[in-house]
Structure 1
Amino acid sequence: MSGLRFFHDPASVAIIGASSDPEKIGGRPIRYLAENGYAGAVYPVNPQRTEIQGLEAYPSLDALPTVPEVAIVAVSGANAVAQVVRCAELGVKGCVIMASGFGETGDEQGLAWQREMLDAAARTGMRIVGPNSQGLATFSTGAVLSFSTLFTEQQPEDGAVAVVSQSGALCSVPYGLLREAGIGVRYAHATGNDIDVTAAEFAAEVVADPEVRLLLLYLEDISDLDSLAEVARTALARGVPVVALKGGRSEAGQKAAASHTGALATEEGVVDAFLAKHGIWRARSTRDLVAAAELYLRPRTPQGERLAIVSNSGAICVLAADAAAEEGLALAELTDTTRAALEAALPAFASVENPIDVTAALLTDSSLFGKVLPVLGDDGGVDACVVGIPVAGRGYDVDRFADDVARFEATSGLPVVMAVPQSAIARVFRDRGIVVFADESEAVRALAQYLRHHALMAAARSRALAPRAADRRLAEARTALNESEGLEFLARIGVPAVEHVLVRSPAEARAAIDRLGGGRVVIKGCSSEATHKSELGLVRVGVQAEDAEQVVAEMIATLAREGLADEGVIVARLVKGVHEAMLGARFDPVFGPVVLLGAGGIHVEALPDVQLLLPPFSEQDALDAIGRLRLSAVLAGVRGAPPVDLGAWATAAVALGEAMLDPDLAVHELDVNPLMLLPLGGDVQPAVRAVDAVVVRSR
């Protein structure tokens, strides 16, 4: 903890615009500092008061007995700007600006005020949080520099979770949900407009705190990539899960693109790829942000995703199995030894297959959970357990059930979640430290997140997450290559391209076909001004040698009719793939190089089936991405079709990723559709061929 430490444990705090009313924005921070045991000096600043909430008040910053380390600015408009400027002049280290009406409105005056405050801070090195900030809260030191009402609704308690958010509401709501679940929160920071200190910068600071074991983030945009990457590096090194919820779009978002890749590699898709590469789990709702928090705080690391389900209800067994299938989690296949042990432990009419229904016999034999769970724990094919108790109460020995489950979790080392809808029964298990959800669907969904996230972190930990290098591509003009140049470029960077000949007249067509070894060919008009040629009539497939001259002549005429630059006509070998895939890349204005792979063909935008990767990545990363495609279900060969060479596709993707990282190649946008996938072990090697190419370079 270093660069921003003074915000977390300041020696002194001034509240500019301090109020005697502890429920007002200028009054709450004073109240919270007192209630949470802050030990530093507190200086209320208000020219209308001599005493505020039992503290001596001062008419101005200049009247303070010493320069405060941090100042809270709770006045608005031009007065806020003047106070921030004066803070900088006096040597205040940091300002938390709670006032709104600045850049978030889009108003030119608000933007000008922001620039004025930033300029003043830059002259002295003062750091600014906000404006439009709800404030910062560090409960370990009592430095609660915030006006959030949730701190009165849910009593603060220091803990192992940090919440950092650009939004005040999306800081308060997770805080409230965590405290409602009895989970302590160490940091609750709502940063606002982020004109200086960003949410990602604060996240990088707090995740280094040795007491933090879970970080929850809400980001309106992802612009401070360097800080966010530093969050990931520190979190992975410490084993701290990071869960992020993102809303909004950055100013540099998706723009019209010449290629399918540009259209499909949307900003949201790139965000997903960035977070996944860095081991950060992306939540889709506020509830998802906190749902697995208790699991994350368990002192263990899961090793797989195979579930065992146990319940005293057959219906819950079925529903939990359905929930597991929806989440893509496999049920563990129990060994013969395990099934034999279960047969010995359970009534004769109970099932010994997974899911395991211990039946209503639990009412008369309270030892059943204690007998069944250890057997599952000894089965090396079980990675986690779901235990459902939909009905219990009078006549059931719930305390024994809870003791047996807690003992099993402690001794087996396996993650355990419970589905218990009765709140009084659930409380018995929670009192033993067991993670309990209201139903089996919630339980399985949270468990799936927990298991998958740890796998994501393990994969990210195996990569070298180096800081990004500067790249000049955004500042330069674009130059589109024609298709012949694009295919040659692909071959140079290691993406196999179809063999072709560029001709300038119909008379050259027969010789070109002879060079290609004869047979039917593909003929295309070639112009850097036409990226999608099929709809212009510039593509003919399966042309015979005797028709080639006529088709070339037609292509030249079409180029002229459409007013396109005539850069020749491509005569290419006809390649028929088992499947049509797609490979592409673009240089994102925020994230840098992005590689896309997916299903190809004419419907790629109408029926998208794509995965995004941020280079550098490995062939295994590419294979894993291919495995997530819907197309992957048919790539191993179905209905007599041969399997395709996925390794060749992955190798081509890695080669493209490496090329995208080379600033001298200056690729801005690239699209290969289709990339023909050829049979595994066939005559053509490598068993992929790019038969169409759109390449745009920055020059």
Structure 2
Amino acid sequence: LTGSARRAVHLVTRGGGEILGTPTAASLSDLPEVPELVAFCVPAADVPAVVDEALALGVRGLLGITAGVPDESALAARVVASGARMIGPSSLGLFDAASSLRIAWGDFPSGALAVVSQSGQVGSEIALLARRAGLGISRFVSVGGQADVTAADLLEDLADHGLTRAVGVYLESFRDGRRIFDAVRALRAAGKPVVLLAAGGSEAGARAARSHTSALTSPMELVDAACRAAGAVRVRTPSALVDVAACLLADSMPAGPRVGIVSDSGGQGALAADRASRRGLSVPELSEPVVSALARSLPGGAATANPVDLAGAGERDLGTYREVTAALLCSGEVDSVVLSGYFGRYGLDSPALAAAELRVAGELAETARAAGRPLLVHSMGADSDAARVLREAGVPVFATIETATDALAGAVALQAHPGRPLAVAGAAEAPEGTGYWAARALLSEAGITFPAARRVRDAREVARATEELRAPYVLKAGWLEHKSEAGGVRIGLHDTPSAVRAFTAMRARLGDGPYVLEEQDVRPDVTEVIVGGRRDAGLGPMVTVGAGGTEAEMHRDTVTECAPVGLDLARAMVRGLRCAPLLDGWRGRPAADAEALARAVVAVSGLVARLTGDRVELEVNPLRAGPDGVIAVDALLLTDRDDTALDTKETI
């Protein structure tokens, strides 16, 4: 009966009697007072009656532990109509350190990490791992079925929760994704960064996608984009969530990616540097003054350029750990320091050194605090008393170098992405027309350049169009999404007779329809790129840039962000592509106009953000980027207004 000293706690069970020496009531109506909160764990069939009885008495808080409750939505509707709120059903419970409220399985030491979890078991694992890492819990909520109270509700409420300094979240769905990430953005603004663990990244939807953009963007890529826009970071495991949280709850955050590495083993230092580099951290070579200062504290021949190898100096004097670490932390040449190796194990293997190691552990923590830069420790004795002293003083300790560097990389990523507003200038309806011509018109108005073209429906119009356009020509069946597979595109038509013959043959196979004759882009030294946008049902509008053409799915070289994006972010998206060197000028080729490409990304992102409707897919593929600008030679628009093909998809 945790919390009974602060509030009245009553037990209700159908049979009455006593439980663990505490009297019970046979029903809620038999209680001497109306409770503020009722937690119910009864057979699923009995839940509606229990909830109705509670609501009739005036109860305003409900916690549903029971799983398999019939007609949860109707139950939640009655709760809300009564002015009450309900967490669950299928919740594993809740804990709040500020009010000493614990209705959950397990022990929750008080601390600064809030845990909101769609799975009670995963949430419990996170809380247990946090305890082992020396982190306490400020609030724990297993959201369960979210029939009423949702994860977004709980995240919004944490912004004003005094004990919470960081938030760990586990979610399996993002049906209310935009509100969830608005809450994450508010938490970040309140100085409470969020670490997200997510599951359910099925590729089934991508396999069924009708546009390249949807096929190329996995669910987790969209979640990652939402995290960056909101100022959160996504991790892959419960332990990684706790590791990153430990960095976030330290006395200081890394100001950048530069890391100094100190080790009492050359091998461990090298492994630490390799792992840090693979995780996107920088291991800069130290300047000559810093190297010289380090050399004065170390044996001759010790590595001092970064990573720094103590070369046995730690065994001779444990204070060397403090001296070398302090020199790096105060050098101004690194943003954080990772100490890797044996420190933390001396007292375990040589009890005579235990007191000295504990003293140095405290000094290390104080040194980091004074320097205002984070210190992370990878220790072969991660469960030792020295490790405990470090953790209690705000220095995270890890059992492996992988977890230490991964946690630091997560904290650095958070600093690099503080979140950004997603302001949209007005709204616009998708055009009534269908086909490539409608998509082309919409994109042209947004600033995307297309070759000159004419709509044609018979051979006479084809011949007339050749007199108005510049050869060579391209003929397209403008209503098809998958033109290449259907034989709905012909290129390299050099004169009127060839254009008419191509049209006659194509119409004989595909039938009447809105065909398009277009000038073919024959510029040399172009790179084909895809720029597309989509409105995700849960997460909102997204924009993607990537390697384009008919092989776009094969290359899978894309960068996705929440739309709309500004020019700086669009430039960064282009630079982030693996194919970016092709745009910069590959093996003597002239560089493409990357600035024009970035402007096209901005234009498409703004358009997809403005278009109304639950379903919007907008795509230019390929967008041909050359030294003299970018030209779109095919486009696709799909909306919920018309579930048939609204325009072309495949590339020429």
TM-score (norm 1): 0.84
Q: Where does residue 38 of structure 2 map in the other structure? A: 71
Aligned residue pairs total: 632
Q: Does residue 1:693 correspond to 2:635, yes or no?
A: yes
CA distance in 2, matches of 1:368, 1:57: 62
Which of 370, 377, 396 is the matching residue for 1:435?
396
CA distance in 1, matches of 2:388, 2:56: 55
Cα separation, partners in 2 of 1:56 and 1:428, compared to 1, 3 Å: closer
Deviation of 1:504 after TM superposition, in Å, equals: 4.4
Q: Does residue 1:482 correspond to 2:441, yes or no?
A: no
Deviation of 1:253 after TM superposition, in Å, equals: 6.0
- The answer on whether the counterparts of 2:341 and 2:378 sit within 8 Å (CA) in structure 1 is yes
Q: Where does residue 464 of structure 1 map in the other structure? A: 421
Q: Where does residue 609 of structure 1 map in the other structure? A: 557
Which of 372, 390, 394 is the matching residue for 1:413?
372
Cα separation, partners in 2 of 1:135 and 1:550, compared to 1, 3 Å: same
- The answer on whether the counterparts of 1:137 and 1:144 sit within 8 Å (CA) in structure 2 is yes
CA distance in 2, matches of 1:638, 1:343: 44
Secondary structure at 2:103 match in 1: strand
Q: Where does residue 298 of structure 1 map in the other structure? A: 250
Deviation of 1:448 after TM superposition, in Å, equals: 0.9
Task: Give the letter aligned to residue 66 of structure 1.
Answer: E
CA distance in 2, matches of 1:230, 1:251: 26
TM-score (norm 2): 0.89
CA distance in 2, matches of 1:419, 1:570: 63
Deviation of 1:577 after TM superposition, in Å, equals: 4.7
Secondary structure at 2:147 match in 1: coil
Deviation of 1:488 after TM superposition, in Å, equals: 2.6
Which of 120, 123, 129 is the matching residue for 2:78?
120
Which of 554, 567, 576 is the matching residue for 1:619?
567
CA distance in 2, matches of 1:511, 1:195: 63
- The answer on whether the counterparts of 1:521 and 1:544 sit within 8 Å (CA) in structure 2 is yes
Q: Does residue 1:248 correspond to 2:200, yes or no?
A: yes
Cα separation, partners in 2 of 1:446 and 1:293, compared to 1, 3 Å: same
Deviation of 1:242 after TM superposition, in Å, equals: 0.4
Which of 500, 516, 523 is the matching residue for 2:474?
523
Q: Which deviations, in whole Å up to 9, do the C-alpha atoms of 1:212-231 show, x marking residues without a partner?
A: 00111111211223541342
Q: Which deviations, in whole Å up to 9, do the C-alpha atoms of 1:158-202 show, x marking residues without a partner?
A: 111111111110111011111122211121111211111012211
Q: Where does residue 144 of structure 1 map in the other structure? A: 102
Deviation of 1:118 after TM superposition, in Å, equals: 2.2
Cα separation, partners in 2 of 1:535 and 1:120, compared to 1, 3 Å: closer
Q: Where does residue 636 of structure 1 map in the other structure? A: 584
CA distance in 2, matches of 1:624, 1:550: 44
Q: Which deviations, in whole Å up to 9, do the C-alpha atoms of 1:17-58 show, x marking residues without a partner?
A: xxxxxxxxxxxxxx3444xx5x11122222421444444422
Identify the range of structure 1 (399-408 vs 80-89) with the bigger mean alpha-carbon deviation: 399-408
CA distance in 2, matches of 1:480, 1:576: 34
CA distance in 2, matches of 1:665, 1:120: 31
CA distance in 2, matches of 1:416, 1:361: 20
Q: Where does residue 148 of structure 2 map in the other structure? A: 196
CA distance in 2, matches of 1:137, 1:401: 36
CA distance in 1, matches of 2:332, 2:572: 25
CA distance in 2, matches of 1:190, 1:663: 36
Secondary structure at 1:629 match in 2: coil
Percent identity for Structure 1 against Structure 2: 32
Cα separation, partners in 2 of 1:388 and 1:208, compared to 1, 3 Å: same
Task: Give the letter aligned to residue 90 of structure 2.
Answer: N
Task: Give the letter aligned to residue 444 of structure 1.
Answer: T
CA distance in 2, matches of 1:469, 1:136: 41
Matches within 5 A, 1:667-682: 668-679=616-627
Cα separation, partners in 2 of 1:574 and 1:506, compared to 1, 3 Å: farther
Secondary structure at 1:583 match in 2: strand
Q: Where does residue 454 of structure 1 map in the other structure? A: 415
CA RMSD of aligned residues (A): 2.9
Cα separation, partners in 2 of 1:138 and 1:430, compared to 1, 3 Å: closer
CA distance in 2, matches of 1:416, 1:469: 44
Q: Where does residue 287 of structure 1 map in the other structure? A: 239
- The answer on whether the counterparts of 2:463 and 2:500 sit within 8 Å (CA) in structure 1 is no
Cα separation, partners in 2 of 1:380 and 1:510, compared to 1, 3 Å: farther
Secondary structure at 1:597 match in 2: strand
- The answer on whether the counterparts of 1:316 and 1:390 sit within 8 Å (CA) in structure 2 is no
Cα separation, partners in 2 of 1:289 and 1:647, compared to 1, 3 Å: same
Secondary structure at 2:321 match in 1: helix
Cα separation, partners in 2 of 1:666 and 1:88, compared to 1, 3 Å: closer
Q: Which deviations, in whole Å up to 9, do the C-alpha atoms of 1:247-291 show, x marking residues without a partner?
A: 236999668332211222333322221122111211111111111
Deviation of 1:305 after TM superposition, in Å, equals: 0.4
Q: Does residue 1:398 correspond to 2:357, yes or no?
A: yes
Identify the range of structure 1 (208-217 vs 339-348) with the bigger mean alpha-carbon deviation: 339-348
Cα separation, partners in 2 of 1:41 and 1:253, compared to 1, 3 Å: farther
Task: Give the letter aligned to residue 604 of structure 2.
Answer: L
Cα separation, partners in 2 of 1:603 and 1:577, compared to 1, 3 Å: same
Cα separation, partners in 2 of 1:623 and 1:83, compared to 1, 3 Å: same
Task: Give the letter aligned to residue 574 of structure 2.
Answer: I
Q: Does residue 1:650 correspond to 2:584, yes or no?
A: no
- The answer on whether the counterparts of 1:314 and 1:357 sit within 8 Å (CA) in structure 2 is yes
Q: Which deviations, in whole Å up to 9, do the C-alpha atoms of 1:225-248 show, x marking residues without a partner?
A: 354134223212221110111123
Q: Where does residue 171 of structure 1 map in the other structure? A: 123
Task: Give the letter aligned to residue 688 of structure 1.
Answer: V
Secondary structure at 1:386 match in 2: strand
Identify the range of structure 1 (418-427 vs 484-493) with the bigger mean alpha-carbon deviation: 418-427
Q: Where does residue 534 of structure 2 map in the other structure? A: 586
Extract unaligned runs of 5+ from structure 2: 642-652
Q: Does residue 1:96 correspond to 2:70, yes or no?
A: no
Deviation of 1:432 after TM superposition, in Å, equals: 4.9
Task: Give the letter aligned to residue 690 of structure 1.
Answer: A
- The answer on whether the counterparts of 1:484 and 1:570 sit within 8 Å (CA) in structure 2 is no
Q: Where does residue 661 of structure 1 map in the other structure? A: 609
Cα separation, partners in 2 of 1:86 and 1:370, compared to 1, 3 Å: closer
Cα separation, partners in 2 of 1:81 and 1:400, compared to 1, 3 Å: closer
Q: Which deviations, in whole Å up to 9, do the C-alpha atoms of 1:492-550 show, x marking residues without a partner?
A: 1122223333444555657645644x4x524122331x1121223333333323xx432
CA distance in 2, matches of 1:403, 1:95: 46
Q: Where does residue 22 of structure 1 map in the other structure? A: none
Q: Where does residue 9 of structure 1 map in the other structure? A: none
